[in-house]
Amino acid sequence: MANDRILVVDDEETIREIVSSMLGGAHFQTRQAASGIEALAILESGDEFDLVLSDLMMAEMDGIALLERAKERYPDMPIVMVTAVHDISVALQALRNGAYDYLLKPFEREQLLATVRRALENRRLKKENDAYRTNLEALVAARTQQWKSALSNLEKSYDITLEALGDALDLKDAETEGHSRRVTAFTIAIARKMGLPKEEINVIARGAFLHDIGKMAIPDDILRKPGKLTDDEMAIMREHCYRGYKIISRIPFLAEAAEIVYAHQERYDGLGYPRGLKGDEIPLGARMFSIADTLDAMTSDRPYRPAQTFLGPQGNRTLVRPPVRPQARQGVPRNARQYLGRPAERYQWPKSNFPQGVTTDIGLSLRRQPRTLTSTPANLSGIVCPHRLIQPSQ
């Protein structure tokens, strides 16, 4: 391209003038250097060139040395070597060291211009390719960010829908209003204390929040019956685990959470339902939920007893637990039995571990219920329900 700048390097002034004249006639801008050392000084001065045309045999610093030094500092600038040595090994050495091409003296004007134009075109194409690659990477990064943003918004929409489903269930079963939100908060606290990754916590939280979604399919006369259920009614009520599983397992992003819904009524000793799973057969999230569910039951008012509290006689954050019957120890993992029978003052948690206004990582806004959550402990692994248990060491 006309007006490209070329540095002409040769220790013979006559040759420099002839080459510069040929290039000038083709509208190239030139500057001359009488040695390799002078050429490096010009390059390092900040003067920019599109091409270097250098003699091979020069005093002080020859063309090969200049080629090596220039390529270290300016790898994208093409260098054409000019030599009177008709030795193929010399030409190959120059090419191996990074020269774009070489010219044998004496050469014709058209031969010089063709070589120069070819080298400059190669440089131009490389710059365009680099620019295209940079722009492509930026475009891919931007599109990836858009995709992540869209996915995040989609997940938020899903979670808002899930929250609406949970609220609908609370309205249907007013006696347990707020239960889904509370057990979700407790389950998240357990999962965080156990150091689970955020992605797994999200799955467990969704499963905990939707654990009773199958009750939507249970007749109201059974769900709201004030008295004791008959055996047939209890059998229908127990179907809510399977019904909930069938409802949400059809939704791809809830497939893992569906397993928690399916197993949330299983017991560690195998006496739960609907499949009689026991021990590690029960998904970890379902075992965590069982602890959270038990905690919520113990700290909620019931017709037959008032809610228990986290505040002990001296105002310590202590869960006052009912005595554990010896026969209830069956089915409790060995590494969890250390929590049974300890004095109540052992079960204390700092307030800072469970901040006020708990919010899950999945967009479920856990608004504080009338019964405050601020006294809720974060380290719930010491709360033992004999038949439903997560192992604290997991």
How many CA atoms, within 13 angstroms, populate the side-chain half-sphere of residue 305? 8
Q: How far apart are CA 175 and CA 304, in angstroms?
A: 14
Q: Is residue 15 part of a domain?
A: yes
Between residues 248 and 319, the one the model is more confident about: 248
Residues 129 and 277 in one domain: no
- From 109, 133, 157, the end of a domain falls on 133
Are residue 122 and residue 245 in the same domain, yes or no? Answer: no
Task: State whether 14 and 128 are in the same domain.
Answer: yes
Band of pLDDT at residue 375, cut at 50, 70 and 90: very low
CATH number at residue 87: 3.40.50.2300
**Would you say residue 93 has pLDDT above 90?**
no
- 79-83 and 29-33 as β-strands: parallel, antiparallel, unpaired? unpaired
96 pLDDT higher than 90: no
**Phi and psi at residue 20, in whole multiples of 5°?**
-65, -35
Distance, in Å, from the CA atom of 290 to the CA atom of 234, rounded to the nearest integer, reads 20
Exposed / middle / buried, residue 332 (Cβ in 10 Å: 0-12, 13-18, 19+): buried
> pTM of the entire structure?
0.50
Radius of gyration, CA atoms only, the chain? 39
Tens-digit pLDDT profile for residues 261-315: 999 999 988 999 999 998 889 999 999 999 888 888 888 776 667 777 755 555 5
Last residue of a domain, one of 133, 163, 191: 133
Residue 321 lies in a domain: yes
pLDDT digits 0-9 by tens, 217-263? 888 888 888 888 999 999 999 999 999 999 889 888 888 999 999 99
Looking at the fold, whether 200 and 330 belong to one and the same domain comes out as yes
Which band of pLDDT confidence, cut at 50, 70 and 90, is reported for residue 176?
A: low
The band of 177, judged by pLDDT with boundaries at 50, 70 and 90, is low
Q: Domain range for residue 128?
A: 5-133
Of the listed ranges 38-47, 66-75, 107-116, 321-330, the least confidently predicted one is 321-330
Q: Which two tokens stand for residue 35?
A: 């040695």
For 82, how many CA atoms within 13 A lie in the half-sphere containing its CB?
A: 22
- Residue predicted with more confidence, 13 or 377: 13
Residue 181 lies in a domain: yes
Higher pLDDT, 281 or 326: 281
Element (H, E) at 94: helix 88-96
Residue 101 pLDDT > 80, yes or no?
A: yes
Under the banding of pLDDT at 50, 70 and 90, the label for residue 139 is confident
Percentage of residues in the chain having pLDDT higher than 90: 30
Indicate whether 178 and 127 sit together in one domain: no
Q: Is the pLDDT reported for residue 110 higher than 70?
A: yes
Quote the CA–CA distance of 81 and 103 in Å, as a whole number. Answer: 6
| pLDDT for the residue 243 | 94
Does 147 reside within a domain? no
Residue 167 in any domain: the answer is no
Domain count within the chain: 2
- Got the DSSP string for 32-88? EESSHHHHHHHHHTT---SEEEEESS-SSS-HHHHHHHHHHH-TTS-EEEEES---H
Compare 361 and 244 and report the one with higher pLDDT. 244
Same domain, yes or no, for 214 and 84?
A: no
Amino acid at 31: R
For residue 148, give the H/E element and its range.
helix 109-172
Answer whether residue 252 is part of any domain.
yes
Residues 195 and 283 in one domain: yes
Q: Are residues 251 and 360 located together in one domain of the fold? A: yes
Tell me, yes or no, whether 244 and 370 share the same domain: yes
- Which of 117, 133, 149 is a domain's end point? 133
Whether 185 is covered by a domain: the verdict is yes
Query: Could you say which DSSP state residue 238 is in?
Result: T
pLDDT of residue 85: 73
Q: Does residue 334 fall inside a structural domain?
A: yes
Closest CA to 360 of 209, 164, 178: 209
Q: What is the CATH number of the domain that holds 193?
A: 1.10.3210
Angle between helices 198-209 and 284-298 (to 10 degrees): 50
| pLDDT the model gives residue 310 | 59
State pLDDT tens for residues 346-359: 333 333 333 333 33
Q: Tell whether 258 and 374 lie within a shared domain.
A: yes
- For residue range 8-60, what is the model confidence (pLDDT) as tens digits? 999 899 999 999 999 999 989 999 999 999 999 999 998 889 999 999 888 87
pLDDT (0 to 100) of residue 171:
73
Q: Mean pLDDT lowest for which of 9-13, 183-187, 340-344?
A: 340-344
Is 92 in the same domain as 206? no
- What spatial distance separates the first Cα and last Cα of the chain, rounded to whole Å? 69
Q: Per mean pLDDT, which of 143-152, 174-183, 350-359, 369-378 is the most reliable? A: 143-152
Judged against a pLDDT cut of 80, whether residue 126 lies above it is answered with yes
215 and 326 within one domain: yes
Per-residue pLDDT, 162? 77
Mean per-residue pLDDT of the chain: 76
CA-CA distance, 374 to 367, in Å (whole number)?
A: 12
